[in-house]
Each structure stands twice: as structure tokens, then as C-alpha cells.
Amino acid sequence: MNKNVISRNSSRKRVLVTGGAGFIGSHLCEKLIAGGYDVLCVDNFYTGTKDNIHQLLAHPHFELMRHDITFPLYVEVDEIYNLACPASPVHYQFDPVQTTKTSVHGAINVLGLAKRTKAKILQASTSEVYGDPDVHPQPEAYTGKVNPIGLRACYDEGKRCAETLFFDYHRQHGLKIKVARIFNTYGPRMHPNDGRVVSNFIVQALLGRPLTIYGDGSQTRSFCFVDDLVDALVRLMNSPDELTGPVNLGNPGEFTILDLAEMVREMTGSTSPIVRHPLPADDPKQRCPDIALAKRVLNWAPTVPLERGLERTIAHFDELLNGKGSAAIRASEFEDAPQALAS
């Protein structure tokens, strides 16, 4: 007899979110709870925190499990969003071997779980699989230009290998897979010390410190607000089984780093100067998503303009730095993390 059937006492879909206590994961958990799902958030709190999900902890359809996905996991679920992985260069380069293990062993473990439970599974991949591309913008068919022995390889190659595993499980075992290639995403609950350009500029501006630009500031980035991204992830999960991806998800609006610094200065009312540092190794000169496929197959495009998204992100960091809530932290806890311009 099927134990799965016996143990079920609810008709709600059971969704596992690995990395659910992280920046994107916490917003995804909120959206899924609001959508009537039963959510199991699995996280080892490597870069995520309980503060990110404290508002969900008492919810009857939310469950939190501390677990490292490099070890197998035995739970019963219908859908899996695999987001667990440190995402910013500062964090993924801190313990590069663990980063590769999380991407590769982690993928093997969650794919094994999906195979056993027949769950649909979505991988949070990244634009970094394109490396330092010589094609702009990058369509999904572009196979990338990645340095396999560089400092970013633990993340880039780890994510590439995870994509390989997803497609091999699909071809070999018939798993229902979805691969999202996520481009630079920002919003409330980004880690304040992770060296990403949006959080760096906002924290520096709010603390009255100089805004650090790497290179001459003419390199461009695109910025997708987290609500738009999470909407796309759920649409992708709910798309027909034939749609495996990979699908690029991001905001194609391009801004130079200098534009962004000036916007943040203006919106925070800061008088901080802008200072320049040398560009880090392997840093892409341009990163812009081609989202034609997502538009066509998911009927999705970002809706939040940079200025509105920045307002909400600035409000979050302001509360973190100056608020009295449990998540508030002291300015002295902010080191100026070496900024890497791509996630």
C-alpha cells in the first residue's frame, strides 16, 4: 500500500523550498503560503537567517527544518524548489569546496528525492553559467564562456554541473524538471554584508560612507526586483511538463554601475563621495538577460521599475540599521565587503 496516501490528511500541495531562509527563498515561501500551499523550508542557515522567515514560523502550513542538502533528505513532497546555495561571490568563495558540494551533491540529493516521491523539481540556476560571455544579451542557447579554474568556478561550474544532472535525471529517469537561469535580483532581505552592488551602495549611503565603484563604473548590470522573480519561478513550476527550460529570468533594463550609485545617493539623500577601486578578476563587463523565451512561454515580464524596487530595498536596510526590531544590527557590524558586481 502507498504510505504516501495513508499519511496525507490535507489536499494542499506539499512544497519543499531548499534555501528557504535565504533572500529569494524567504519571499518564495511567503508567496507559496499565500497561495495555499503546505511549505517545508529546509535550510542550514549558511547565509540565510530565521529573521527572514520569522513572520511564517507560527503559520500552520509552514514548517522549518535545519538540514544541509549535501546530505540526503527523506520527506514526502509534491514539488521542490532547489534554491540552497550561497549566491554572492563573498559567500560562495568563503568555502569554495562546500559551494561545489552544495550545488552538485545537493542536486543529486534533491533529484533523488524527486525521483522517489515523483515530485516536480525546479532548479535555481544562474546567469553565471554563461561566464564572461561574448554574446550580448545571452539567449538560453548560448553555452557560455566559463573559466573552470578561476575563483568563480566553484559557483559557475557547480551550477553548470547541477543543470547537467537535472537534464540527465529528466532523460534517464523521466523526472519533471524546470531550470531557471536567474539574473541579478535585489530587494528586501538581501544580505547586508554580501558585497553585492545594490546592498553595498545602499548600506554605504545610509551609513554616510563612500560608495565604492570597481573599475570606471561604465560596466552595466540589470536588476530584477525579487517579487517579479518569485512570480516567474512559480509560473515556471506551474507550466506544462514539456517546458523544462532553461529559461532566463531577469530584468532586461540595463544601468551602468555609476547610474545606480547616483540613484542610490539621491534616493537616500546621502552626500557620500564615490570612490573607485580596481576591477576584480573574472568580473563580467556586461550582464543583461534575453527574456524573450520567458515572455513567450510564461507570459511573464518584470513589472517593478528600478526606482520603486530601490525604495522598498532602502526602507528595509534603513529599518535594519536604524530600526528597533529583532533584525536590527549595529553599523559597526558592517565591514566594507569587497564588492563583486555580479551575483
Q: Is 182 in the site for ligand NAD (CB under 6 A)?
A: yes
Cα distances from 108 to residues 69, 123, 125, 162, 176, in angstroms, run: 9, 12, 15, 8, 15
Q: Is 23 in the site for ligand NAD (CB under 6 A)?
A: yes
Residue 322 CB burial class (10 angstroms; 0-12, 13-18, ≥19): exposed
Residue 103 CB burial class (10 angstroms; 0-12, 13-18, ≥19): buried
Catalytic (active site) residue 46: no
Q: Is 220 in the site for ligand NAD (CB under 6 A)?
A: no
Q: Is 270 in the site for ligand NAD (CB under 6 A)?
A: no
Q: How far is the CB of 133 from ligand NAD (least distance, A)?
A: 15
Binding mask 24-53 for ligand NAD (x = CB under 6 A): xx-----------------xxxxxx-----
Instruction: Give the Cβ contact number of residue 151 at 10 Å.
Output: 16
Q: Which is nearer to ligand NAD, 45 or 174 (CB)?
A: 45
- Taking each helix axis as running N to C, give the angle between helix 306-322 and helix 257-268, from 0 to 180 degrees, rounded to the nearest 10: 60
Strand partners, 81: 17, 122
Q: Which listed residue (15, 79, 106, 200) binds ligand NAD by CB under 6 A? A: 106
- Find out whether 190 and 196 touch, Cβ atoms under 8 Å: yes
- Find out whether 20 and 57 touch, Cβ atoms under 8 Å: no
Q: Which listed residue (19, 195, 284, 309) binds ligand NAD by CB under 6 A? A: 19
Q: Which is nearer to ligand NAD, 15 or 270 (CB)?
A: 15
Q: Is 126 in the site for ligand NAD (CB under 6 A)?
A: yes
Cα distances from 220 to residues 127, 163, 173, 205, 209, in angstroms, run: 14, 26, 41, 20, 23
- Find out whether 190 and 47 touch, Cβ atoms under 8 Å: no
Part of the chain binding ligand NAD (CB under 6 A), chosen from 17-25, 265-273, 279-287, 307-315: 17-25
Q: How far is the CB of 47 from ligand NAD (least distance, A)?
A: 3
Q: How far is the CB of 5 from ligand NAD (least distance, A)?
A: 29
Q: Is 313 in the site for ligand NAD (CB under 6 A)?
A: no
Q: Which is nearer to ligand NAD, 126 or 313 (CB)?
A: 126
What nine digits make up the cell of 338?
569587497
Type of residue found at 23: F
- Find out whether 187 and 225 touch, Cβ atoms under 8 Å: yes
Distance CA 204, CA 200 (A): 6
List the catalytic residue out of 46, 81, 130, 155: 155
Binding mask 55-94 for ligand NAD (x = CB under 6 A): -------------xxx------------xxxxx-------
Part of the chain binding ligand NAD (CB under 6 A), chosen from 137-145, 177-185, 259-267, 275-283: 177-185
Q: Which listed residue (15, 16, 21, 33) binds ligand NAD by CB under 6 A? A: 21
Q: Which listed residue (14, 15, 16, 22) binds ligand NAD by CB under 6 A? A: 22
- Find out whether 338 and 280 touch, Cβ atoms under 8 Å: yes
Q: Which is nearer to ligand NAD, 48 or 264 (CB)?
A: 48
Distance CA 224, CA 156 (A): 20
Radius of gyration (Cα) for the chain, nearest Å? Answer: 20
Q: Which is nearer to ligand NAD, 122 or 211 (CB)?
A: 122
Q: How far is the CB of 256 from ligand NAD (least distance, A)?
A: 18
What nine digits make up the cell of 283?
568580473
For binding to ligand NAD (CB under 6 A), which residues are involved?
A: 18-19, 21-25, 43-48, 68-70, 83-87, 102, 106, 124, 126, 182, 184-185, 191, 343
Residues belonging to the active site:
155
